[in-house]
Each structure stands twice: as structure tokens, then as C-alpha cells.
Chains A and B, each alone.
Chain A
């Protein structure tokens, strides 16, 4: 069978995109390969690590387990949408200051998890932050500085 394609309209970081995608395309591959937004990472590809976390219609999700077609008509936020031009988002600034990134592979997902949390709960406790990033694995930094950075960002914004 000729691989079926589908035309989708998706708003990514406020920009509308209209693209033809294969029905089998994951949202992650769509963002990275079709739109060139390579900030979102692929770790496990199985919903376990959170490296591919994006915000879909206000909810934090793993883009590796979603078909691009499912995002038709929806809003996606990725790490590329955080900074305002050269001005870093408070979360990004706080991560840099706290040293919350080493290799940086988990960082885009951590930032989006932090954003999803702060969007709902602007002044979380330490425990709430730990819970908010529980779906995101980091092999290097340790979670202490990451939690600290999210707490700092909450104070600033």
C-alpha cells in the first residue's frame, strides 16, 4: 500500500504550520525533521525518559508516543518557544545560574516539564517540583540543582 499521508495544521510556538505528513510520523520526528525544531530530543523512544517532552494543548506529553496526525488543529509548545528573542525565559536563566545542565540532553524536556508545572502552579513547593519533573530522567546533573532552578524561576516570574 502507498503510505497514506495526511494534511495537518498545527500551531507550534504560536506559528501556524500546514504540512503533509505520513500517518506513521511521530510528533517528535515531525518537530525535529519536518520543522527543523531539533531542541526536543529523543532518548528512549518509549515514553520512559521525558527527553521528548512538549506541551500539547496545555498538557505535558511525550512526543515520541504521539502521531503527528493527532496534533492536527492543536497547539504545541517546544523549548524553542521559551526564549523571547535573545532574552532567556526565567527557567532557562535559572538553569544556567544553578548549573542545572551538564550534557544538556535532558534539559529541553526538563524545561518543558518545569514550564508545564509553573503554568499551573506558579509557586510550587520543593516536593511539588520533584513530582513535576518525575517523568524526566537525567543521567548527569542530579535532580537537586534542577529542582533548585525551577524553584528560583518560580520566584522570579
Chain B
């Protein structure tokens, strides 16, 4: 491993001051450690964020929830502020890696690492969440569906840290769901899908609003606008859900790789999208 200086600041301001272009932030290290070992980063300084207490909090905010970037997957999966309300997020946090992984891996690290397969990215996109980013000059918000630019690339600027994720209040008659398929328990997703559905106040069979996000089938996690349009304003039945799955599959841009072929991935998008929509729909109706 390339030698580096290890710094463990106690405050956000101190951390931001240490983040020179040669420095890399360290959260749980479940991605970064191996990147460093494989010399995929040139950093000469590692800035460990785990000693900054305020970055780890999960708290109610503005009717929704504010999740510190350093919140552990294990804490997310167990949080009563998230379970029930934001089911898609709870489910995704609970399937990241092993117990050992979830005891180290953070939400901020999952997003900042910008893998197309990052499991918490699609639920956050479906839930309409924003990332909060801070640098020495202040903070700004970036919608999670605009955070990813390509594999390993985010809209975070040099010297900027992801400090929190803000999930808006769950509207009435709304629900979400997460689905994924994997080769083995410890592998990253071949495909994942998150759906958010809000039902009409007058007709509980009609979708007023839908957001569908797909993972591992493009250079970044992506929203499928055609599937969302297909659902919005429609009365949900087998035919509509089938069509939404079809639309999602055509919006997907899967590739062949060692894990699976593109055709298989596209077929799985169809299946997982349909399942996620039905689950989100039942939750929105308070049936699950």
C-alpha cells in the first residue's frame, strides 16, 4: 500500500480544512481499504471521519428524517425512524454485505463510492432524498438522483464532504419497496430496483405519483421516466404493472460482465420492477 498520513479530526470544520486535493475521506473503509491496497487512489493523506460525532446521527427533521453520512448500515436497518415509513431504505440497508460489513459500512460511503450497484442509492432516489454536501464555504443540497455522474464519480466537488442525507416526509397514502437479485449472499447486486408509489386521495387504486429507480444496469443508478409515466394517473392492474416493467427494461442500459449477461439483467429489471411496484402499492394502501 502507498504510504499515507492518517488524520482523525474531531469536528467537521477541522475535517474540511484537512481535505486538500491529495487527501481522501475515510468512513467505514469497506470500499476504500481495498481501493488503497490496489493503489486505485493517489492520496497521501487519509482523513478518518468517524470521530466527528454529529455526522453519525439519525434524527427526525422537517417531518422527514436527516441521516448523518456516517450512519452505519446496521443502525439504518434498525432505526425506528426509518422502518415502517421508508421501507425501501430499511430493506436495502439490511442486505448490504455481511453483519461485519454493516457494522462498518456507512450510508455516505455507499453514495460517495458511486457504484452503479450501490444498494441504498435507488431507495433514496425513489424516496426523493437529497444529499447535503459541505465545504469550507458552506453547505448545499444535491438531489440524490443528480448525485451520480458515472462509475465512481459524483457531483461532489474537490474538498467537499457528504454530511447527511435528507429524506422528505412520507406523504399520506404512499409506500416504497426494494428488490434485488444477487449471485451469492455476499456479492453486490446484479440488479436492484426501488419503487415509490403515492395513491390518489379519492381513488385508492389510482397512482398519483411514482418514482422508480434501477441499480447495476447503467453507469450510475438511474430513474426510469417511462415506467414512472406509465404509472402516473393509471389505475393499477396487472396490465399496467406489466407495461411499467416493460418500460423499465427498455430504459435499462445493462452490460455483460462476469456476474451476468445484459439480457438476463434486462429480464430481471422487468421482474423486479413489477414486484417492487406491487409491494409499494400494497404498503401505500396500508396492506403490508
Please list the residues of chain A having a beta carbon within 8 angstroms of any beta carbon in chain B: 1-4, 6, 22-24, 26, 46-48, 50, 53, 59-62, 65-67, 69-70, 72, 113, 116, 131-132, 134-136
| A24 x B4 contact (CB < 8 A) | yes
- Considering only CB atoms, which chain A residue lies closest to B28 in the complex? A65
Give the distance in Å from the alpha carbon of A69 to the alpha carbon of B48 in the complex: 10
With contacts A65-B33, A65-B104, A66-B104 taken as known, whether A24 is within 8 angstroms of B1 at the C-beta atoms is yes
| A135 x B98 contact (CB < 8 A) | yes
With contacts A6-B6, A24-B4 taken as known, whether A53 is within 8 angstroms of B100 at the C-beta atoms is yes
Residues of B within 8 A of A60 (CB): 99-100, 103
Q: Which of B4, B46, B50, B101 has a CB less than 8 Å from the CB of A62?
A: B101
Give the distance in Å from the alpha carbon of A131 to the alpha carbon of B18 in the complex: 40
Residues of A within 8 A of B2 (CB): 24
Residues of B within 8 A of A1 (CB): 3, 44
> Is B60 an interface position by the 8 A CB rule?
no
With contacts A69-B48, A134-B185 taken as known, whether A23 is within 8 angstroms of B6 at the C-beta atoms is yes
Give me 13 A-to-B residue pairs in the complex whose CB atoms sit less than 8 angstroms apart, sorted by A's number. Answer: A2-B3, A4-B6, A23-B3, A23-B6, A24-B4, A46-B34, A47-B100, A59-B74, A60-B103, A65-B30, A67-B26, A67-B29, A135-B98
Further contacts, 17 of them, CB under 8 A, given A50-B100, A61-B100, A70-B29 = A4-B4, A23-B4, A24-B4, A24-B36, A46-B34, A47-B101, A50-B98, A59-B103, A65-B34, A65-B104, A66-B29, A67-B26, A67-B33, A69-B48, A132-B99, A135-B100, A136-B98
